[in-house]
Amino acid sequence: MTDLLDDRHVLDNLREVFRADVQRAEQDLLEQPSPVRVSSAGRHIGVLVVGLVVVGALAIALRSPLFSSLSSIGGAGSSSGTEPSGGSPTAPASPTQTLALIGGLPTNLNGLPVLRGDDALTAFRSANPGQELQVGGWLSAGQVLSCPVLRPGEWWNPCLAIGLHETSANGPLIFVYPGPSPIPTPKVEAGFTQPIVFSVHTGDASCPTDNLDCHVLPVIDSVAWIGAVVPVPTNFGPAPSGGLTRADAVDTARASAKANSSGPLTLVSAQAGPYGIVGPSGSDVRADRWVWAVFFTGQFPAPDCADSACLSQSTFLVVLDYQSGDVLIEESPA
Protein backbone atom coordinates (compact mmCIF):
# COMPACT_ATOMS: atom_id res chain seq x y z
CA MET A 1 0.00 0.00 0.00
CA THR A 2 2.99 2.26 -0.44
CA ASP A 3 1.26 4.11 -3.23
CA LEU A 4 -1.17 5.60 -0.76
CA LEU A 5 1.22 7.87 0.97
CA ASP A 6 -0.06 11.17 -0.24
CA ASP A 7 -3.48 12.72 -0.29
CA ARG A 8 -3.82 12.54 -4.04
CA HIS A 9 -3.39 8.81 -3.99
CA VAL A 10 -5.79 8.47 -1.09
CA LEU A 11 -8.38 10.49 -2.97
CA ASP A 12 -7.89 8.45 -6.14
CA ASN A 13 -8.41 5.29 -4.13
CA LEU A 14 -11.53 6.65 -2.46
CA ARG A 15 -13.05 7.51 -5.83
CA GLU A 16 -12.18 4.12 -7.23
CA VAL A 17 -13.76 2.40 -4.23
CA PHE A 18 -16.87 4.53 -4.53
CA ARG A 19 -17.26 3.69 -8.22
CA ALA A 20 -17.03 0.01 -7.28
CA ASP A 21 -19.51 0.59 -4.44
CA VAL A 22 -22.02 2.10 -6.84
CA GLN A 23 -21.57 -0.75 -9.31
CA ARG A 24 -22.11 -3.20 -6.51
CA ALA A 25 -25.20 -1.34 -5.34
CA GLU A 26 -26.62 -1.42 -8.87
CA GLN A 27 -26.09 -5.14 -8.97
CA ASP A 28 -27.57 -5.64 -5.50
CA LEU A 29 -30.67 -3.63 -6.32
CA LEU A 30 -31.23 -5.70 -9.42
CA GLU A 31 -30.70 -8.96 -7.57
CA GLN A 32 -32.54 -8.03 -4.39
CA PRO A 33 -34.80 -5.13 -5.15
CA SER A 34 -36.57 -5.26 -1.84
CA PRO A 35 -34.94 -4.40 1.43
CA VAL A 36 -37.81 -5.92 3.28
CA ARG A 37 -37.93 -9.41 4.68
CA VAL A 38 -41.22 -10.97 3.77
CA SER A 39 -40.77 -14.27 5.49
CA SER A 40 -42.55 -13.31 8.65
CA ALA A 41 -44.68 -10.32 7.97
CA GLY A 42 -46.18 -10.27 11.42
CA ARG A 43 -42.88 -10.30 13.24
CA HIS A 44 -41.37 -7.72 10.96
CA ILE A 45 -44.31 -5.42 10.79
CA GLY A 46 -42.05 -2.67 12.07
CA VAL A 47 -39.76 -3.24 9.14
CA LEU A 48 -42.67 -3.04 6.84
CA VAL A 49 -43.87 0.16 8.35
CA VAL A 50 -40.53 1.82 7.95
CA GLY A 51 -39.29 0.06 4.88
CA LEU A 52 -42.40 -0.08 2.85
CA VAL A 53 -44.01 3.27 3.20
CA VAL A 54 -41.98 4.21 0.25
CA VAL A 55 -41.67 5.33 -3.23
CA GLY A 56 -45.34 5.40 -3.91
CA ALA A 57 -45.06 7.46 -6.96
CA LEU A 58 -42.15 5.65 -8.48
CA ALA A 59 -44.46 2.92 -9.56
CA ILE A 60 -46.15 5.61 -11.30
CA ALA A 61 -43.28 6.98 -13.29
CA LEU A 62 -41.43 3.81 -13.93
CA ARG A 63 -43.65 0.95 -14.62
CA SER A 64 -47.09 0.89 -13.29
CA PRO A 65 -49.98 1.04 -15.67
CA LEU A 66 -51.93 1.03 -12.47
CA PHE A 67 -51.09 4.60 -11.68
CA SER A 68 -52.68 6.29 -14.59
CA SER A 69 -56.06 5.49 -13.19
CA LEU A 70 -55.34 5.87 -9.52
CA SER A 71 -56.31 9.46 -9.17
CA SER A 72 -59.60 8.93 -10.88
CA ILE A 73 -60.90 6.97 -7.97
CA GLY A 74 -59.16 8.87 -5.20
CA GLY A 75 -62.20 10.65 -3.95
CA ALA A 76 -64.75 7.98 -4.59
CA GLY A 77 -67.16 6.81 -1.98
CA SER A 78 -69.79 8.22 0.27
CA SER A 79 -70.24 8.59 3.95
CA SER A 80 -71.40 5.05 4.22
CA GLY A 81 -69.37 3.66 1.36
CA THR A 82 -70.18 1.99 -1.90
CA GLU A 83 -69.95 -1.47 -3.26
CA PRO A 84 -68.50 -1.42 -6.74
CA SER A 85 -70.57 -3.24 -9.30
CA GLY A 86 -69.53 -6.60 -10.60
CA GLY A 87 -68.25 -5.70 -14.06
CA SER A 88 -65.61 -3.19 -13.09
CA PRO A 89 -64.01 -3.61 -9.73
CA THR A 90 -63.43 0.06 -9.26
CA ALA A 91 -66.32 1.73 -10.93
CA PRO A 92 -68.10 4.08 -8.59
CA ALA A 93 -70.87 1.68 -8.84
CA SER A 94 -74.02 0.90 -7.09
CA PRO A 95 -76.18 3.15 -4.98
CA THR A 96 -75.02 3.66 -1.47
CA GLN A 97 -75.91 0.70 0.64
CA THR A 98 -76.47 0.83 4.35
CA LEU A 99 -74.03 -1.44 6.09
CA ALA A 100 -73.17 -2.14 9.68
CA LEU A 101 -69.88 -0.36 10.21
CA ILE A 102 -67.50 -0.94 13.08
CA GLY A 103 -64.57 1.40 13.25
CA GLY A 104 -65.68 2.82 9.91
CA LEU A 105 -65.52 -0.52 8.10
CA PRO A 106 -68.22 -3.05 7.30
CA THR A 107 -68.04 -6.27 9.23
CA ASN A 108 -69.59 -8.37 6.48
CA LEU A 109 -69.97 -8.00 2.74
CA ASN A 110 -71.55 -10.38 0.28
CA GLY A 111 -71.91 -12.98 3.00
CA LEU A 112 -68.22 -12.97 3.85
CA PRO A 113 -66.59 -11.47 6.93
CA VAL A 114 -64.34 -8.46 6.48
CA LEU A 115 -61.07 -9.40 8.12
CA ARG A 116 -58.79 -6.91 9.75
CA GLY A 117 -55.36 -6.80 11.38
CA ASP A 118 -54.07 -9.99 12.96
CA ASP A 119 -57.25 -11.88 12.07
CA ALA A 120 -56.54 -11.20 8.43
CA LEU A 121 -52.89 -12.28 8.74
CA THR A 122 -54.00 -15.53 10.36
CA ALA A 123 -56.56 -16.14 7.64
CA PHE A 124 -53.99 -15.52 4.89
CA ARG A 125 -51.77 -18.22 6.32
CA SER A 126 -54.51 -20.81 6.67
CA ALA A 127 -56.64 -20.16 3.58
CA ASN A 128 -56.83 -22.61 0.72
CA PRO A 129 -55.20 -21.50 -2.53
CA GLY A 130 -57.58 -19.28 -4.45
CA GLN A 131 -60.08 -19.00 -1.60
CA GLU A 132 -61.90 -15.67 -1.59
CA LEU A 133 -61.27 -13.52 1.47
CA GLN A 134 -62.14 -9.94 2.28
CA VAL A 135 -59.78 -7.65 4.09
CA GLY A 136 -60.47 -4.14 5.28
CA GLY A 137 -58.43 -1.22 6.51
CA TRP A 138 -57.63 2.42 6.04
CA LEU A 139 -55.52 3.72 3.20
CA SER A 140 -53.27 6.68 3.78
CA ALA A 141 -50.96 8.81 1.71
CA GLY A 142 -47.81 7.23 0.38
CA GLN A 143 -49.03 3.71 0.62
CA VAL A 144 -49.46 2.86 -2.98
CA LEU A 145 -46.02 1.45 -3.20
CA SER A 146 -43.29 0.47 -5.54
CA CYS A 147 -39.53 0.23 -5.69
CA PRO A 148 -37.09 1.98 -7.94
CA VAL A 149 -35.74 -1.29 -9.22
CA LEU A 150 -38.01 -4.24 -9.73
CA ARG A 151 -37.75 -7.19 -11.99
CA PRO A 152 -40.75 -7.39 -14.29
CA GLY A 153 -43.46 -9.70 -13.11
CA GLU A 154 -42.35 -9.86 -9.49
CA TRP A 155 -45.66 -8.68 -8.13
CA TRP A 156 -44.88 -10.30 -4.77
CA ASN A 157 -42.16 -7.78 -4.09
CA PRO A 158 -43.28 -6.09 -0.87
CA CYS A 159 -42.44 -2.73 -2.32
CA LEU A 160 -45.54 -3.06 -4.47
CA ALA A 161 -47.78 -3.79 -1.52
CA ILE A 162 -50.60 -1.52 -0.44
CA GLY A 163 -50.73 -0.81 3.27
CA LEU A 164 -53.96 -0.91 5.21
CA HIS A 165 -53.99 0.72 8.61
CA GLU A 166 -56.05 -0.82 11.35
CA THR A 167 -57.79 2.45 12.15
CA SER A 168 -58.36 5.85 10.65
CA ALA A 169 -55.77 7.09 13.11
CA ASN A 170 -53.05 4.96 11.49
CA GLY A 171 -51.78 2.20 13.74
CA PRO A 172 -50.50 -1.20 12.65
CA LEU A 173 -50.42 -1.99 8.97
CA ILE A 174 -51.14 -5.08 6.99
CA PHE A 175 -50.35 -5.33 3.31
CA VAL A 176 -52.20 -6.54 0.25
CA TYR A 177 -50.69 -7.03 -3.19
CA PRO A 178 -51.85 -5.83 -6.60
CA GLY A 179 -50.81 -9.20 -8.01
CA PRO A 180 -50.00 -10.14 -11.58
CA SER A 181 -52.98 -8.24 -12.99
CA PRO A 182 -53.19 -5.01 -11.02
CA ILE A 183 -56.46 -3.12 -10.82
CA PRO A 184 -56.68 0.60 -10.09
CA THR A 185 -56.72 1.40 -6.41
CA PRO A 186 -57.37 4.75 -4.75
CA LYS A 187 -54.74 7.33 -4.04
CA VAL A 188 -55.14 9.26 -0.81
CA GLU A 189 -53.58 12.65 -0.28
CA ALA A 190 -51.43 13.47 2.73
CA GLY A 191 -53.50 14.20 5.82
CA PHE A 192 -56.41 12.10 4.60
CA THR A 193 -57.45 8.50 4.94
CA GLN A 194 -60.03 6.26 3.34
CA PRO A 195 -61.60 3.01 4.47
CA ILE A 196 -61.57 0.24 1.92
CA VAL A 197 -62.35 -3.46 1.66
CA PHE A 198 -60.49 -5.58 -0.84
CA SER A 199 -61.57 -8.96 -2.08
CA VAL A 200 -58.37 -11.02 -2.11
CA HIS A 201 -57.07 -14.53 -2.52
CA THR A 202 -53.88 -16.26 -1.46
CA GLY A 203 -51.93 -19.04 -3.12
CA ASP A 204 -51.84 -17.21 -6.42
CA ALA A 205 -51.01 -19.52 -9.30
CA SER A 206 -48.28 -17.21 -10.53
CA CYS A 207 -46.22 -17.57 -7.34
CA PRO A 208 -42.92 -19.35 -8.00
CA THR A 209 -43.10 -22.82 -6.53
CA ASP A 210 -39.97 -22.27 -4.48
CA ASN A 211 -41.20 -19.00 -2.99
CA LEU A 212 -43.26 -20.22 -0.07
CA ASP A 213 -43.77 -16.72 1.26
CA CYS A 214 -45.53 -15.72 -1.93
CA HIS A 215 -48.24 -18.29 -1.41
CA VAL A 216 -49.57 -16.64 1.73
CA LEU A 217 -49.64 -13.15 0.27
CA PRO A 218 -53.11 -11.67 -0.24
CA VAL A 219 -53.61 -10.71 -3.87
CA ILE A 220 -56.25 -8.12 -4.71
CA ASP A 221 -59.07 -9.33 -6.92
CA SER A 222 -61.32 -6.32 -6.61
CA VAL A 223 -62.34 -3.39 -4.46
CA ALA A 224 -65.35 -4.78 -2.58
CA TRP A 225 -66.28 -1.59 -0.78
CA ILE A 226 -64.93 1.89 -0.46
CA GLY A 227 -65.74 4.60 2.05
CA ALA A 228 -65.39 8.33 2.05
CA VAL A 229 -62.06 10.10 2.11
CA VAL A 230 -61.78 11.79 5.49
CA PRO A 231 -59.10 13.80 7.24
CA VAL A 232 -56.84 11.81 9.54
CA PRO A 233 -58.38 12.48 12.95
CA THR A 234 -56.64 14.93 15.22
CA ASN A 235 -59.15 15.16 18.04
CA PHE A 236 -58.58 12.14 20.22
CA GLY A 237 -60.46 13.09 23.34
CA PRO A 238 -59.20 13.60 26.86
CA ALA A 239 -56.14 12.01 28.39
CA PRO A 240 -56.72 8.61 29.96
CA SER A 241 -56.74 8.62 33.74
CA GLY A 242 -53.84 7.37 35.79
CA GLY A 243 -51.10 8.53 33.46
CA LEU A 244 -47.58 9.55 34.39
CA THR A 245 -47.22 12.97 35.91
CA ARG A 246 -45.06 15.42 34.04
CA ALA A 247 -42.33 15.09 36.66
CA ASP A 248 -42.35 11.29 36.40
CA ALA A 249 -42.27 11.44 32.62
CA VAL A 250 -39.33 13.84 32.64
CA ASP A 251 -37.43 11.66 35.13
CA THR A 252 -38.00 8.52 33.07
CA ALA A 253 -37.09 10.25 29.84
CA ARG A 254 -34.02 11.86 31.40
CA ALA A 255 -32.75 8.46 32.50
CA SER A 256 -33.19 7.20 28.96
CA ALA A 257 -31.47 10.21 27.44
CA LYS A 258 -28.63 10.08 29.97
CA ALA A 259 -27.78 6.60 28.82
CA ASN A 260 -26.94 8.17 25.48
CA SER A 261 -25.08 11.23 26.68
CA SER A 262 -22.19 11.84 29.00
CA GLY A 263 -22.85 15.54 29.46
CA PRO A 264 -25.52 17.61 31.15
CA LEU A 265 -29.00 17.57 29.69
CA THR A 266 -31.30 20.52 29.31
CA LEU A 267 -35.02 19.87 29.29
CA VAL A 268 -36.64 21.66 26.37
CA SER A 269 -40.23 20.50 26.66
CA ALA A 270 -42.45 17.71 27.91
CA GLN A 271 -45.76 17.36 26.19
CA ALA A 272 -48.52 14.83 26.73
CA GLY A 273 -50.91 14.03 23.94
CA PRO A 274 -51.95 11.58 21.27
CA TYR A 275 -48.94 10.24 19.41
CA GLY A 276 -50.32 11.53 16.13
CA ILE A 277 -50.03 15.06 17.45
CA VAL A 278 -46.92 15.04 19.63
CA GLY A 279 -44.90 12.13 18.20
CA PRO A 280 -42.61 11.94 15.17
CA SER A 281 -43.82 10.35 11.98
CA GLY A 282 -42.44 7.12 10.58
CA SER A 283 -43.31 4.70 13.34
CA ASP A 284 -46.13 2.27 13.86
CA VAL A 285 -47.27 3.75 17.14
CA ARG A 286 -50.98 4.38 16.84
CA ALA A 287 -51.85 8.00 16.33
CA ASP A 288 -54.44 7.91 19.10
CA ARG A 289 -52.13 6.35 21.70
CA TRP A 290 -51.46 8.81 24.48
CA VAL A 291 -47.78 9.45 25.07
CA TRP A 292 -45.36 11.82 26.68
CA ALA A 293 -42.91 13.41 24.23
CA VAL A 294 -39.92 14.79 26.11
CA PHE A 295 -37.19 16.82 24.37
CA PHE A 296 -33.71 17.48 25.69
CA THR A 297 -30.64 19.18 24.36
CA GLY A 298 -27.16 18.00 25.21
CA GLN A 299 -24.11 16.27 23.85
CA PHE A 300 -25.17 13.17 21.98
CA PRO A 301 -23.17 10.84 19.78
CA ALA A 302 -23.86 10.46 16.13
CA PRO A 303 -25.37 7.11 15.14
CA ASP A 304 -22.90 4.24 15.20
CA CYS A 305 -20.51 6.33 17.24
CA ALA A 306 -18.06 4.08 18.97
CA ASP A 307 -16.42 6.61 21.24
CA SER A 308 -16.89 10.04 22.73
CA ALA A 309 -15.01 11.69 19.90
CA CYS A 310 -18.19 12.26 17.96
CA LEU A 311 -20.35 13.78 20.66
CA SER A 312 -22.02 16.91 19.43
CA GLN A 313 -24.63 19.36 20.60
CA SER A 314 -27.92 17.98 19.52
CA THR A 315 -31.51 17.35 20.50
CA PHE A 316 -32.91 14.14 21.89
CA LEU A 317 -36.52 13.03 21.95
CA VAL A 318 -37.91 10.35 24.20
CA VAL A 319 -41.48 9.18 23.64
CA LEU A 320 -43.03 7.33 26.56
CA ASP A 321 -46.29 5.50 26.89
CA TYR A 322 -48.54 7.87 28.78
CA GLN A 323 -49.63 5.30 31.32
CA SER A 324 -46.87 2.69 31.65
CA GLY A 325 -43.89 4.95 31.01
CA ASP A 326 -42.43 2.41 28.58
CA VAL A 327 -39.96 4.00 26.20
CA LEU A 328 -41.46 3.80 22.72
CA ILE A 329 -39.00 5.88 20.76
CA GLU A 330 -35.63 7.55 21.29
CA GLU A 331 -34.45 9.79 18.52
CA SER A 332 -31.54 12.12 17.97
CA PRO A 333 -31.43 14.64 16.53
CA ALA A 334 -35.05 15.11 17.40
Partner 1 sequence: MPESPAGELTSAQAEIARLAPELLAVARYLVSSDSDARDLVQHTIEIGLRRLGQLREPTKIRAWLIAIETREASGWRRRLRHVLSLDAAVHEIVAPGGSFEHQVTVRDALRRLPPRTRAAVVLHHMAGLSVSEPAAALKVSDNTVKSQLRLGLARLREDLR
Contacts of partner 1 in 215-244 (CB under 8 A): none
Contact 202, 131 (CB under 8 A): yes
HSE-up of 102 (CA within 13 Å, CB side)?
Answer: 7
Q: Which of 134, 140, 194, 332 binds partner 1 (CB under 8 A)?
A: 332
Find the binding residues for partner 1 in span 260-319 (CB under 8 A): 260, 280, 282-284, 302-307, 309-310, 312
Q: Which of 74, 92, 142, 273 binds partner 1 (CB under 8 A)?
A: 142
| Residue 166 host element (H or E) | strand 162-167
HSE-up of 101 (CA within 13 Å, CB side)?
Answer: 19
**91 CB neighbour count, 10 Å cutoff:** 15
Q: How far is CA 192 from CA 123, 223, 292, in A?
A: 28, 19, 25
Phi, psi (deg, nearest 5) at residue 35: -85, 0
324 lies in the site for partner 1, by CB under 8 A: no
Q: Of 115 and 121, which has the nearer Cβ to partner 1?
A: 121
212 lies in the site for partner 1, by CB under 8 A: no
Q: Which of 93, 133, 147, 287 binds partner 1 (CB under 8 A)?
A: 147
CB of 202 to partner 1, least distance (A): 25
CB of 120 to partner 1, least distance (A): 21
HEC string for 112-140: EEEECHHHHHHHHHHCCCCCCEEEEEEEE
149 lies in the site for partner 1, by CB under 8 A: yes
Q: Which of 44, 113, 183, 236 binds partner 1 (CB under 8 A)?
A: 44
Show the site string, 80-109: x = touches partner 1 by CB under 8 A, - = not. ------------------------------
Q: Of 36 and 99, which has the nearer Cβ to partner 1?
A: 36
